[in-house]
A = this chain, B = another copy of it.
Amino acid sequence: MPSNDQRFCPADSSQVPRYAGPVSFFRLPQIDDPARVDVAVVGVPWDGGTTNRPGARHGPREVRAQSMMIRPYHHVTRRSPYDVCRVADLGDSPVNPVDLEDSLRRIESFQAALHAAGAAPLSVGGDHLVTLPVLRAIARDAPVGLVQFDAHSDINDVYFGGSRFTHGTVFRRAIEEGLVDPQRTIQIGIRGSRYSPKGGDFAAETGIRVLTIEDVFEIGVAGIVAEVHRVVGSAPAYLTFDVDALDPVYAPGTGTPEVGGMTTHMAQAVVRGLGGLDLVGADVVEVAPPFDVNGATALVGATLAFEILCVLAEARARTRPSG
């Protein structure tokens, strides 16, 4: 880290109990200026793209609360993201709960300010549609690769007779807008009954690599990690983690649970294996606290956000211009 930069540290839980003190992501300082950080952890409290059960707008608050449980050093790598990058809680994105288009604009504008300041976003949703304005902010110039943990491909075309912007159509839109390169896209954990036998045609046509849950259990953590690296390569990539990729026992608090998913242990191990990717941003979405049980899904979301932060910070540390 450049010597003239301030490093941000979480509050020390062995001094201040983890249930006390200001609530922020990972107990990090809350600041307003994105130019002071390499990675900006932010909330996107909006669920206006939800076609089924709402509530993900409450995700950022509960993930923040549960993230107070996370200590700074990873137990396997023995490294801390705060040792290699400046990381802080940059607050919540502006949103408009009663206006979808206005919300997409507000989120994009907020994310664009982070991007302009050189801060890579780690966003906590919100429903999956919030990934679209994030990508509009950071991938306008060149499409990024995509690592998508999800039960659903989210590549439907329209809902309800013509609505094009929903959490179930987000990656078709992102590909159409040239924000995501489908040939450098991999989806992990896809499962669940479908609207039609042709559900995956768009994936096949565009070259998206789909790992169904059957593939996941068959090739295992090492196989998945290898396949992600093969598909995504070394060019810039974005990681999006929809908690419904996990089995509903790990993530009951989500809008569209699908029985028979990944374990958290497996998801953690896969994320940990992505250290070499050139990640330019990431998100954890679809934590819906009204359907959660005692904060369990929010804790899972916070734990995965920490795993992701570890690999994102390492990627940022490698690519950051030296001070």
Contact = CB atoms under 8 A, between A and B. Distances in A.
- Interface size range on A against B: 35 or more
Nearest to A197: B78
Contact of A194 (B20, B69, B75, B192): B75
A160 B96 contact: yes
Contact of A61 (B19, B261, B268, B299): B19
Interface stretch (A97-105, A135-143, A276-284): A97-105
Interface stretch (A176-184, A224-232, A251-259): A251-259
Contact of A23 (B23, B71, B78, B161): B23
Contacts of A212: 75-76
Contacts of A166: 98
Contact of A290 (B55, B96, B191): B55
Contacts of A257: 69, 296, 299
B290 A21 contact: no
Count this chain's copies in the assembly: 6
B21 A70 contact: no
Contact of A15 (B23, B73, B79, B161): B161
A214 interface: yes
A13 B98 contact: no
Given A14-B158, A15-B161, A55-B55, 4 more contacts: A53-B58, A61-B65, A99-B163, A257-B296
Interface of A: 12-24, 30, 43, 45, 47-55, 57-58, 60-61, 64-65, 69-76, 78-80, 91-92, 94-100, 102, 156, 158-161, 163, 165-166, 190-197, 199, 212-214, 217, 247-250, 252, 256-257, 259-261, 263-265, 268-269, 290-291, 293-294, 296, 299-300, 303-304, 306
18 contacts: A15-B160, A17-B97, A17-B160, A18-B52, A19-B52, A19-B53, A50-B97, A65-B65, A75-B199, A76-B212, A80-B197, A96-B163, A98-B159, A98-B165, A102-B163, A252-B293, A260-B265, A261-B265
